């Protein structure tokens, strides 16, 4: 499978703690994206990092990308109970402009934040 | 939220019957995608469309067909449903001002008995 691998599969923390999720992949990318899914809902885009970027921030989210190691991490700082959800990384193909925006998703990390 | 709706939201059907799921968008996005989501597999791409009447296969296309006769609608058909097609199906779109970002519909839960 060309899907990315996410680690850990599940993460349980207390409110106020930081949560770190990791994503590895096997082939070259154009971009890497992170999505969130609340139980029973569709996915919601969080952040996109391009292959020529190393770090990106959005509010309490920090994403890093290491293309030499083919890995990315998502850090959620000062977590809240409302952050409880599944988090997915998604790899955007490097297909010379013919990827048609396709993404390959990892299996996700289930984050539980206890009040 | 991008205006993406899916219908039906829930469906129970029997093995061997045809099933059609509909995705409708109001964002005029060029690209549309059908995924299935199963425990332990994340989201897997079934088919995608890069324009009206332009479609192609994804990772898990066997047993599925699609059609896109107008920009706003993307139909997924299970020609003869099997129990292995019990899943949650998500439609997504991209290609607007959000670039490569995909916007997801609420999903359709399909149970094949």
Secondary structure tally for chain B: helices H, strands E:
0, 11
CB-based contact, A45 to chain B, within 8 Å: yes
- Closest by Cα among B35, B4, B1, B28 to B95: B28
Q: Which residues of B touch A105 (CB under 8 A)?
A: 35, 42-44
Tens digit of each residue's pLDDT, chain A (115 residues): 445 689 999 999 999 999 999 999 998 898 999 999 999 899 999 999 999 999 999 999 999 999 999 999 999 999 999 999 999 999 998 766 667 888 999 999 999 999 9
C-beta neighbour count of B29 within 10 angstroms: 22
3-class secondary-structure state, position A84: coil
Q: Which strand (E) or helix (H) includes residue A34?
A: strand A29-37
Tens digit of each residue's pLDDT, chain B (113 residues): 559 999 999 999 999 999 999 999 999 999 999 999 998 888 999 999 999 999 999 999 999 999 999 999 999 999 999 999 999 999 999 986 656 899 999 999 999 99
Which residue does chain B place closest to A4, by CA atoms? B42
Q: Do B42 and A33 touch (CB under 8 A)?
A: no
Does residue A101 have a cis peptide bond before it, meaning omega lies within 30 degrees of 0?
no
Return the DSSP state at B100: T
Q: Do B44 and A105 touch (CB under 8 A)?
A: yes
């Amino acid at each position: 499978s060309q899907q990315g691998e996410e680690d850990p599969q599940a993460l349980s923390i207390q409110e106020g703690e930081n949560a770190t999720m990791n994503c590895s992949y096997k082939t070259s990318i154009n971009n890497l994206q992170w999505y969130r899914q609340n139980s029973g809902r569709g996915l919601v885009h969080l952040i996109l990092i391009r292959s020529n970027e190393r770090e990106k921030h959005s509010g309490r989210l920090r994403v890093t990308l290491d293309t030499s190691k083919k890995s990315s991490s998502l850090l959620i700082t000062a977590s809240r109970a409302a952050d409880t959800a599944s988090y997915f990384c998604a790899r955007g193909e490097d297909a010379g402009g013919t990827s048609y925006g396709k993404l390959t998703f990892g299996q996700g990390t289930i984050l539980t934040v206890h009040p | 939220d991008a205006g993406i709706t899916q219908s039906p939201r829930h469906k129970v059907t029997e093995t061997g019957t045809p099933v059609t799921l509909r995705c409708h968008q109001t964002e005029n996005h060029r690209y549309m995608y059908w995924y299935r989501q199963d425990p332990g597999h994340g989201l897997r791409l079934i088919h995608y469309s890069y324009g009206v009447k332009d479609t192609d296969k994804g990772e898990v296309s066997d047993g599925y067909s699609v059609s896109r006769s107008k920009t706003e609608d993307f139909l997924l058909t299970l020609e003869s449903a099997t129990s292995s097609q019990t899943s949650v199906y998500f439609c997504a779109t991209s290609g607007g001002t959000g670039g490569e970002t995909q916007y997801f519909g609420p999903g359709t839960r399909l149970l094949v008995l």
